[in-house]
């Protein structure tokens, strides 16, 4: 129920409130809603006529998760004279709509009576999306860990119970499988730690001049030693880059692992001077390439695309490491039609 009084003219403060990104409701003693901005109306689904001039518990009838009328619980115009408001709480409208609510109590003097209550409103949908994203992330991590751990548990238990029944060759095969699965778990945990550092912007970078001939040579040697079936060529057109050598090798390792999974027969590594004092490092493959509409998606967490054998974190980490070193990463089409991942990093030594 609302009063029959005409709505007051909008003040300069009311007009300024319309520019706020959050909902704002102003309540004056003894508890009547004086003003509300458009964002608050959109969040609550109410109209200005329903809200302005109404008692707070009527115009904004919020309840907590126990179903209690929130304004009776909070009692903003009564209670201790030291209260300054309340932190963000998830409250509910009668329609079931979730609203993130904060309140600020404005007093007449240090411990005087509350004269104005300013209520901030945010849509609960953003928090729900974040919770769903976190749940999906946990589910994906659990799935990625369960597969190798199942192998480790199965083979180790079988060996313990039936050791004498297997030949040396069979034992070696199972132990090698256990080792490979353990390495997979270790790598996933390492990648997750890197992801957390990237998200928190807490990566430690020790940049210095790096000889690309040495770094690219090591990357090729590791790929050949791992038994990769692709031929690899290099072209070092820019010999030096300003980067963290360990992080640069990590980036190249991730990119080569990705290229091996998609290449048909050939991978090409190259470096060349880029624009504005940068160096471009490119990893090309002759695989099917990546459609234009997916070229940004591949840098997301746990994006597998056509390659379910990976953790889906490699390219996300590559981009995070590049940006932490003042660079960037893009995915393009390679000259032979496959995929090209191009890393741009500062060239030479900073002054």
Catalytically active residues, by annotation: 143
Q: 348 near 209, Cβ under 8 Å? A: yes
Rounded distance, CA 298 to CA 113, Å?
57
- Environment class of residue 202 by beta-carbon count within 10 Å: exposed (0-12), middle (13-18) or buried (19+)? exposed
> 198: how many CB neighbours lie within 10 A of its CB?
17
Judged by DSSP in three states, 96 sits in coil
Give the β-pairing of 208-211 and 98-107.
Answer: unpaired
- Which structure tokens are listed for 120? 């901030």
The H or E element containing residue 255 is helix 245-262
For 133-197, give the DSSP string. Answer: HHHHHHHHHHHHHHHHHHHHHHHHHHHHHHGGGS-HHHHHHHHHHHHHHHHHHHHHHHHHHHHHH
- Which structure tokens are listed for 160? 């313990």
Judged by DSSP in three states, 57 sits in helix
Rounded distance, CA 127 to CA 125, Å?
5
Overall residue count recorded for the chain in this entry: 351
């Amino acid at each position: 129920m609302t009063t029959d009084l005409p709505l007051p003219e909008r003040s300069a403060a009311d007009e300024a409130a319309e520019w706020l990104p959050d909902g704002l409701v102003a309540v004056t003693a003894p508890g009547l809603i004086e003003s509300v901005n458009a964002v608050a109306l959109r969040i609550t689904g109410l109209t200005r006529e329903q809200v302005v001039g109404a008692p707070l518990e009527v115009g904004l009838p919020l309840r907590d998760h126990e179903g209690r009328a929130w304004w009776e619980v909070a009692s903003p115009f009564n209670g201790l004279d030291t209260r300054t408001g309340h932190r963000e709480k998830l409250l509910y409208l009668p329609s079931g709509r979730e609203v993130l609510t904060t309140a600020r109590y404005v007093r007449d003097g240090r411990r005087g009576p509350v004269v104005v209550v300013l209520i901030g409103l945010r849509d609960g949908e953003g928090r729900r999306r974040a919770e769903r994203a976190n749940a999906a992330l946990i589910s994906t991590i659990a799935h990625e860990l369960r597969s190798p751990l199942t192998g480790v548990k199965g083979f180790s238990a079988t060996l313990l119970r039936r050791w004498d029944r297997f030949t040396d060759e069979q034992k070696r095969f199972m132990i090698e499988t256990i080792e490979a699965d353990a390495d997979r778990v270790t790598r996933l945990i390492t990648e997750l730690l890197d992801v957390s550092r990237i998200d928190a912007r807490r990566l430690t970078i020790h940049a210095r001049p790096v000889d690309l001939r040495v770094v690219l040579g090591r990357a090729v040697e590791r790929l050949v030693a791992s038994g990769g079936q692709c031929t690899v060529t290099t072209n070092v057109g820019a010999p030096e880059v300003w980067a963290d050598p360990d992080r640069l090798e990590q980036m190249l390792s991730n990119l080569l692992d990705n290229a091996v999974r998609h290449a048909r027969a050939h991978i090409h590594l190259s470096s060349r001077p880029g624009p504005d004092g940068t160096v471009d490092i490119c990893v090309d493959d002759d695989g099917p390439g990546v459609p234009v509409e997916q070229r940004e998606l591949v840098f997301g967490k746990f994006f597998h695309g056509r390659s379910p054998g990976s953790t889906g974190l490699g390219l996300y980490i590559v981009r995070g490491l590049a940006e932490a070193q003042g660079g960037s990463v893009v995915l393009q089409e390679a000259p032979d039609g496959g995929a090209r991942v191009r890393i741009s990093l500062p060239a030479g030594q900073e002054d």
